Amino acid sequence: MIVVMQPEASEAQIQSVIDHLVNLGFDIHRSTGVERTVLGCVGATANIDVRDVEVLEGVAEAHRISSPYKLAGRSFRPEGTIIKAGPLTIGGDEIPIIAGPCSIESREQLFAVAEQVAAAGARGLRGGAFKPRSSPYSFQGMGEEGLKLLREACDHYEMAAVSEVMSETQIPLMLQYVDILQVGARNMQNFNLLRELGKIRKPILLKRGIAATIEELLLSAEYIMAGGNYEVILCERGIRTFETYTRNTLDLSAIPVVHKLSHLPIIADPSHGTGRRDKVPPMARAAVAAGGDGVIMEVHCNPEKALSDGAQSLYPQQFTKLMEELRLIATAVNKRVAPARAFAAQQR
Amino acid sequence: MIVVMQPEASEAQIQSVIDHLVNLGFDIHRSTGVERTVLGCVGATANIDVRDVEVLEGVAEAHRISSPYKLAGRSFRPEGTIIKAGPLTIGGDEIPIIAGPCSIESREQLFAVAEQVAAAGARGLRGGAFKPRSSPYSFQGMGEEGLKLLREACDHYEMAAVSEVMSETQIPLMLQYVDILQVGARNMQNFNLLRELGKIRKPILLKRGIAATIEELLLSAEYIMAGGNYEVILCERGIRTFETYTRNTLDLSAIPVVHKLSHLPIIADPSHGTGRRDKVPPMARAAVAAGGDGVIMEVHCNPEKALSDGAQSLYPQQFTKLMEELRLIATAVNKRVAPARAFAAQQR
Amino acid sequence: MIVVMQPEASEAQIQSVIDHLVNLGFDIHRSTGVERTVLGCVGATANIDVRDVEVLEGVAEAHRISSPYKLAGRSFRPEGTIIKAGPLTIGGDEIPIIAGPCSIESREQLFAVAEQVAAAGARGLRGGAFKPRSSPYSFQGMGEEGLKLLREACDHYEMAAVSEVMSETQIPLMLQYVDILQVGARNMQNFNLLRELGKIRKPILLKRGIAATIEELLLSAEYIMAGGNYEVILCERGIRTFETYTRNTLDLSAIPVVHKLSHLPIIADPSHGTGRRDKVPPMARAAVAAGGDGVIMEVHCNPEKALSDGAQSLYPQQFTKLMEELRLIATAVNKRVAPARAFAAQQR
Amino acid sequence: MIVVMQPEASEAQIQSVIDHLVNLGFDIHRSTGVERTVLGCVGATANIDVRDVEVLEGVAEAHRISSPYKLAGRSFRPEGTIIKAGPLTIGGDEIPIIAGPCSIESREQLFAVAEQVAAAGARGLRGGAFKPRSSPYSFQGMGEEGLKLLREACDHYEMAAVSEVMSETQIPLMLQYVDILQVGARNMQNFNLLRELGKIRKPILLKRGIAATIEELLLSAEYIMAGGNYEVILCERGIRTFETYTRNTLDLSAIPVVHKLSHLPIIADPSHGTGRRDKVPPMARAAVAAGGDGVIMEVHCNPEKALSDGAQSLYPQQFTKLMEELRLIATAVNKRVAPARAFAAQQR
């Protein structure tokens, strides 16, 4: 930590601050400049709230200089992290695409879309089983029944199963059926949930909160990793800004920023990031071009009848065309997207 | 809902949209203008996602015109809602002040600050018992032991007990000890928690999320009220903006806005809203001047040693002085703040 | 400036950064910690772009530690700045209220409102003469004719004349008629304009841009002061956030923040800050309660017919009532608002 | 415009609102629902401030339904606009890349970088001649001398000359030397400047303000077009959000949004959008993948010595490599980027 004193700070104030910092366990290096005094504090600062130092008499500013995350930091694993979940590998040369409906609504609905996205080359199948909604009268999800269907569809079409865990009490249930446990944007700082997810050994897909900085996203990853679960996939899904034309503002610059700061893979969710079907293909292409390690998207065979998020769900044919574009773009960044698969084409 | 067609929409597109809306149960009023056609849709729109209509062919825009909240809306109870919780009344002529430490740390700590704030005129005592922190190594709260101390202090000093409930599983425990259950900003859209809080019959203090609009805050209140619990106190505690000098930007204009839109009382939390002790008194005064129905603040007898949020906790003497200022300001808005109490003055 | 090296930075990289900084004229203090090396750089950093250092090989972060403004900083004049403009004094014990129409529309319109606000105790009269509007067909302002009317009304009712200067070419004209030259939010970083305003010797009312941080506001004040004009009044008038119910979010915490960082007075503009008439009185009261050095508001005798900004203009009787409330609130912060004046009461 | 009355609005209030609207020249269609009354207002609403209607007694909300821009709207020219400027065409199948230094510093500097970017396939050369800076002591630009150099370099290397116009007084000078006049983000709502640019017949590159919505960007384009100059190129260059790791948040979703709303071409500026050199290539690739009609970037042969914006300027070899990637990506969206040119390769 660096503590910058006010130009008018008295010697007594400076000594008092130094004493305070020594009590906290720091070694202090004092630099006296023409204009002001600066204190360099060496020691463990991860748990220090710099505001506690800034409110001391005579202090102008305090800056933390060691990054507050260690395990999530790039220097912990400079070569990058590769995570495997069923038939899906992320962080390597292949960019996995994860697709599927917002909610699992029925066997017919799920298998229909699963076949289409599998045929188009998707490596993961997404689908929500628990849907606590803003209206208490809306569809609340199929629960465990939905998870069973997801598992079955993934086994049949050889995809990884991805579904959102809403609270720590659901973890044991989730572990039976899914390959990747998704943490939604609203739960990014639900520390009880993060702590429990640190104890399991399955990959976590951690979505950025709509008001969370990239540093806070990495701190939440650190929270999971501190428990011993190092398989965290980050996900940019849009932040809230003054622009209201789109549901959120998809911050694709988070991709190169995370690649610099962390070894963890980062994917993008253009469905939630834009909220409108016609904006999803352009932003999915942009995510791959920006170096994203994957893309997750909502696809529905009949979006007009979807029980949730129909407006942002792609039609299967849109998804298939988009996959072809993504394959071309991936080559420009020395990566690849899995090819279309023949089995489904035959069945159709 | 009002649906505005694109200028170039064909008659077939217009008919198709009308058919779709009729299927959803709307009565349609069609207005054909020189430039474009507008469809007025009468019927229950609360559960309609306007985006589902906006993605139809030929549609330019769709607007919901009935407000999505009913129970929380001003017209449900035009005279305003008054809520009683122990010795505290909110929404009437008296503006209750709620004060206390961020976390309950010990009997000594809690009773020391309780006596001071009670003497100064506070009607409620706040204190956190569960503190899931960003670092897994930080103090995590005293749990039920803390709640017992809070109850005891409130009984002794005649104040209402206010504490945060972190998940639905804690509700039964909370009900034994506290008078007002606080929902933190991160849980404002935790719908499982809100649903359960709708079933109880104690007042809820609902904090605005840092990325939540005022409408979303009212929707969360509606969620609780839909369960039958009409005693919801709203709380402005700062939103996240590009300004980083303060921890958040306290949006005091939410006070007159809520007073226009809703019958529910709204208070302000300048401690979390600014994050710095020296900014708390000015913003507490401003909250009362803006017409706020109450103020909640952090006070600690020894903020330098506080286990959490010390930087934003007032010293007791600051709080006492502030209370005198608030009494003066309250008169300007035809309200009052409770007087200082003699008992504690004697004890000191 | 403090330069923090990456943990893995090589000795060669560190030496290269030191050489670079020495070339820029800094004295370097090197601290070698267990985890990383920190370089303290002493010297004139005001013109350094810290990003230029952050992109050097091996550098993790760079922080500027001397504040980039000197003349505007609190330590330049710890006792605070008091500015006089005609019958108005700002920064002292009296809180001046400035009121008047958005645009000067006619002699009748201006004198009618001037009499009312003067009678209610306003010390300054505002009115725009140049109104470049978003529509080229809208009213563009009365120009010099309007300024003459403003001067005449101010002389007659003993108020200071406040009007906006849109470009450096208008300065000579403005100097003939107004007491305080206002810089609008859109021009806060129009450096050509600021430079010319630094050369004159009349007070400047500098409005914060809707996307400007408090530091950037102070930097713009510094720009004017660097030219020799030290009489700068800052004005908070709302920032753009995700909340759209209000036109902008009035950031009243800017008042205590500016009082800590700077010696310059700061006022609030709740008319532009909220955009709605009914939100103006609560936020004006809040501004005084927060310690603001003044308030500027739009008042119009017939807002429904106003040529601009009618929706946010107070009726005179609202303004008169508000002034009484502000007088009460001012006492709570040991200040005062000028009393109502009899002359106009007689005339009416 | 659609006016929604409050549920409790009286018949007298409704009539009064109708009378007011009829006076403004609207035809009114009244719909009386079970819950509330809605008024459809047909007529010219472009110049109406909906807030003026919203503050009327009994009104709950008012929505403008015809878009406030006409000339910039998609329906004005559904096939899209193609603009030619010297050897550069924008809006068609080729995606022009514009590159060059932030400021023109000298003949050597400009020609060195011009040759490199021309060889790599750039169609336009950018360079600032006027640089009003936040510090009055910083480099202020070469002025007309710089523009002459820019013209000369563009003639020699067959590129279009792009430079920023800071005020209406500079337009005649600019017209002598440049092919595309750039309007900077701070001037996006400088209506005096926009009005004068509407009178000329050269393409305008209009940058989005950091706090401007996409609708406001289109309104500024409309302002220019209303004067008769239809050749407006829009530019996304980052908006200000709570995320501070990047200088701004580049909102690439503006590209598909503008393509839906308007016929005007839109390009991206990843240099200003991210503020850091290493973030520029990923975001430039993303801009092309998202369907952008062009990219503008800062390139400097010696960024460490650049007089401005060195931290965000690419090295020429980075730019050359990036151009190859952009060529691959362009094919995925059925566009192309101009090939590398041999002449410069020979000269080097």
If pLDDT is split at 50, 70 and 90, which confidence band does B44 have?
Answer: low
What letter does residue B55 receive in the DSSP assignment?
T
- Residue C45, pLDDT > 70, answer no
| B8–D78 C-beta distance less than 8 A | yes
Nearest chain B Cα distance for residue C248, angstroms: 10
Lowest mean pLDDT among B24-28, D53-57, D235-239: B24-28
Q: What is the residue whose two structure tokens read 């017939």?
A: C302
C85-111 residue pLDDT tens = 999 999 999 999 999 999 999 999 999
> In the structure encoding, which two tokens stand for residue D41, read together?
């207002």
Nearest chain D Cα distance for residue C294, angstroms: 26
| D65–B36 C-beta distance less than 8 A | yes
D70-106 residue pLDDT tens = 899 988 899 999 999 999 999 999 999 999 999 999 9
| C239–B249 C-beta distance less than 8 A | yes
The larger pLDDT score, comparing residue C128 to residue A305, is at C128
Q: Mean of the pLDDT values across residues B308-317?
A: 90
Q: What percent of chain B has pLDDT over 90?
A: 71
The yes or no reply on domain B83-332 and CATH 3.20.20.70 is yes
A53-106 residue pLDDT tens = 888 888 888 877 666 788 999 888 999 999 999 999 999 999 999 999 999 999
Nearest CA in chain D to C220: D134
| D249–A250 C-beta distance less than 8 A | no
Nearest chain C Cα distance for residue B95, angstroms: 16
For D34, residues 6+ apart whose C-beta sits below 8 A from its C-beta are B42
Nearest chain A Cα distance for residue C258, angstroms: 14
> Which among B259, B290, B289, B285 is positioned nearest to B274, based on CA atoms?
B285
If pLDDT is split at 50, 70 and 90, which confidence band does A345 have?
Answer: very low
Q: Contact at 8 Å (CB) between A250 and D279?
A: no
Q: Mean of the pLDDT values across residues C273-298?
A: 96
B271: chain C residues, CB-CB within 8 Å: none
Distance between CA C205 and CA C174 in Å, rounded? 13
Lowest mean pLDDT among A318-322, B31-35, B93-97, B133-137: B133-137
Q: In this predicted structure, what is the pLDDT of residue B103?
A: 94
For B178, residues 6+ apart whose C-beta sits below 8 A from its C-beta are B147, B150, B151, B161, B162, B163, B202
C125-169 residue pLDDT tens = 999 999 876 565 667 789 999 999 999 999 999 999 999 999 899
> Which among C242, C301, C295 is positioned nearest to C271, based on CA atoms?
C295
Distance between CA D169 and CA D155 in Å, rounded? 25
Distance between CA A231 and CA A221 in Å, rounded? 9
Q: Mean of the pLDDT values across residues D31-35?
A: 71
Distances (CA, A) of D331 to A279, A328, D2, D95, D252: 19, 8, 45, 11, 19
Q: Contact at 8 Å (CB) between C227 and D223?
A: no
Residue A99: other Cβ atoms inside 10 A: 32
Distance between CA A299 and CA C218 in Å, rounded? 50
Nearest chain D Cα distance for residue A10, angstroms: 31
| B65–D2 C-beta distance less than 8 A | yes
Q: Using the Cα atoms of residue A103, residue A104, residue A105 and residue A108 in order, give the sign of their dihedral.
A: positive
The yes or no reply on domain A2-66 and CATH 3.30.70.1140 is yes
DSSP H stretches of helix in chain A: 11-23, 50-54, 107-120, 144-157, 171-177, 191-197, 214-226, 254-261, 270-274, 280-289, 316-332, 342-347
Distance between CA C296 and CA C285 in Å, rounded? 12
Provide the residue count of chain B. 348
B247: chain A residues, CB-CB within 8 Å: 51
User: Mutate which of B52, B165, B244, B302 to test chain A, going by most A C-beta atoms within 10 A?
Assistant: B52
* pTM of this structure: 0.91
Q: Say which of A249, A286, A290 has its CB closest to residue D249.
A: A249
Q: Say which of B251, B252, B285 has its CB closest to residue C332.
A: B285
For B294, residues 6+ apart whose C-beta sits below 8 A from its C-beta are B90, B95, B96, B97, B98, B233, B265, B267, B268
Nearest CA in chain B to D6: B75
- Residue A346, pLDDT > 50, answer no
Sort strands D124-126 and D97-100 into parallel, antiparallel or unpaired: parallel
% helix / strand / coil in chain A, to the nearest 5? 40, 20, 40
Distance between CA D95 and CA B198 in Å, rounded? 56
Q: What is the residue whose two structure tokens read 């116009």?
A: D165
A275: chain B residues, CB-CB within 8 Å: 51
| D31–B29 C-beta distance less than 8 A | yes
Task: Tell me which chains share at least 3 CB pairs under 8 Å with chain C.
Answer: A, B, D
Where do the domains of chain B lie?
A: 2-66, 83-332
A162-199 residue pLDDT tens = 999 998 999 999 999 999 999 999 999 999 899 999 99
| B42–D31 C-beta distance less than 8 A | yes
Nearest chain A Cα distance for residue C249, angstroms: 11
Distance between CA D221 and CA D217 in Å, rounded? 6
Helix (H, G, I), strand (E, B) or coil at B43: coil
- Residue B134, pLDDT > 60, answer no
Task: Give me the phi and psi of B112, to 5 degrees please.
Answer: -60, -45
Identify the contact set of chain A against chain C, taking CB-CB distances under 8 A: 2, 4, 6-8, 29, 31, 33-36, 38, 40, 42, 60-61, 63, 65-67, 75, 78, 240-242, 244
Helix (H, G, I), strand (E, B) or coil at C246: coil
- Residue D346, pLDDT > 50, answer no
Nearest chain B Cα distance for residue A52, angstroms: 5
Q: What is the residue whose two structure tokens read 């039609």?
A: A315
| B276–A55 C-beta distance less than 8 A | yes
If pLDDT is split at 50, 70 and 90, which confidence band does C208 have?
Answer: very high
Identify the contact set of chain B against chain A, taking CB-CB distances under 8 A: 20, 46-47, 49, 51-52, 54-55, 132-138, 166-167, 169, 186, 189-192, 195, 209-211, 219, 223, 226-227, 240, 247, 275-278, 303-304, 310-312
- Residue B115, pLDDT > 90, answer yes
For A305, residues 6+ apart whose C-beta sits below 8 A from its C-beta are none
Q: Mean of the pLDDT values across residues A267-287?
A: 96
For B346, residues 6+ apart whose C-beta sits below 8 A from its C-beta are none
If pLDDT is split at 50, 70 and 90, which confidence band does B346 have?
Answer: very low
Q: Mean of the pLDDT values across residues C267-281?
A: 95
Q: Which helix (H) or strand (E) holds C176?
A: helix C171-177
Distance between CA B116 and CA D261 in Å, rounded? 60
User: Mutate which of D216, D249, D252, D253 to test chain A, going by most A C-beta atoms within 10 A?
Assistant: D253
Q: Say which of A215, A257, A283 has its CB closest to residue D253.
A: A283
D273: chain A residues, CB-CB within 8 Å: 253
> Which among D237, D253, D236 is positioned nearest to A270, based on CA atoms?
D253
Q: Say which of C138, C219, C303 has its CB closest to residue D134.
A: C219
Q: Using the Cα atoms of residue A39, residue A40, residue A41 and residue A47 in order, give the sign of their dihedral.
A: positive
D135: chain C residues, CB-CB within 8 Å: 46-47
Lowest mean pLDDT among A157-171, B203-217, C22-36, C213-227: C22-36
Q: Say which of A211, A214, A289 has its CB closest to residue D289.
A: A289
- Residue A28, pLDDT > 90, answer no
D132-157 residue pLDDT tens = 765 556 677 899 999 999 999 999 99
Q: In this predicted structure, what is the pLDDT of residue C81?
A: 97
Distance between CA C253 and CA D211 in Å, rounded? 20
Q: Mean of the pLDDT values across residues C23-33?
A: 78
Q: In this predicted structure, what is the pLDDT of residue B53?
A: 87
D331: chain A residues, CB-CB within 8 Å: 328
Q: Contact at 8 Å (CB) between A219 and A263?
A: no
| Cα torsion through B243, B248, B251, B252, rounded to 10 | -120
Q: In this predicted structure, what is the pLDDT of residue B347?
A: 47
Q: Say which of B8, B38, B61 has its CB closest to residue D75.
A: B8
Q: In this predicted structure, what is the pLDDT of residue C133?
A: 64
> Which among A117, A90, A79, A93 is positioned nearest to A331, based on CA atoms?
A93
Q: In this predicted structure, what is the pLDDT of residue C346?
A: 43
Q: Contact at 8 Å (CB) between C20 and C5?
A: no
| Cα torsion through A143, A146, A148, A152, rounded to 10 | -170
- Residue B214, pLDDT > 80, answer yes
Maximal CA-CA distance, chain A: 83
B325: chain C residues, CB-CB within 8 Å: 332-333
D33: chain B residues, CB-CB within 8 Å: 42
Distance between CA A222 and CA C27 in Å, rounded? 37
Nearest CA in chain D to C132: D191
| B311–A51 C-beta distance less than 8 A | yes
Sort strands C37-42 and C27-32 into parallel, antiparallel or unpaired: antiparallel
Residue D226: other Cβ atoms inside 10 A: 18
Nearest CA in chain C to B244: C213
Which residues make beta-bridge pairs with D114? none
| A244–C65 C-beta distance less than 8 A | no
| C304–D20 C-beta distance less than 8 A | yes
Average pLDDT, chain D: 91
Instruction: Give burial (CB, 10 Å; 0-12/13-18/19+) of B347.
Output: exposed
> Which among C123, C158, C148, C99 is positioned nearest to C284, based on CA atoms?
C99
ipTM: 0.90
Task: Tell me which chains share at least 3 CB pairs under 8 Å with chain B.
Answer: A, C, D
Nearest chain B Cα distance for residue C19, angstroms: 33
Provide the residue count of chain A. 348
Q: In this predicted structure, what is the pLDDT of residue B38?
A: 81
Instruction: Give burial (CB, 10 Å; 0-12/13-18/19+) of D214.
Output: buried
For D7, residues 6+ apart whose C-beta sits below 8 A from its C-beta are B75, D35, D36, D60
Q: Contact at 8 Å (CB) between C312 and C298?
A: yes
- Residue C62, pLDDT > 50, answer yes
For B34, residues 6+ apart whose C-beta sits below 8 A from its C-beta are D42
The larger pLDDT score, comparing residue A5 to residue D216, is at D216
Q: In this predicted structure, what is the pLDDT of residue D137?
A: 60
B81-93 residue pLDDT tens = 999 999 999 999 9
Q: Contact at 8 Å (CB) between D292 and D329?
A: no
Helix (H, G, I), strand (E, B) or coil at D24: coil
Nearest chain A Cα distance for residue D256, angstroms: 6
| C277–D136 C-beta distance less than 8 A | no
Instruction: Give burial (CB, 10 Å; 0-12/13-18/19+) of B331.
Output: middle
**Can you spell out the DSSP letters for B312-333?**
GPBPHHHHHHHHHHHHHHHHHT
Distance between CA A68 and CA B2 in Å, rounded? 49
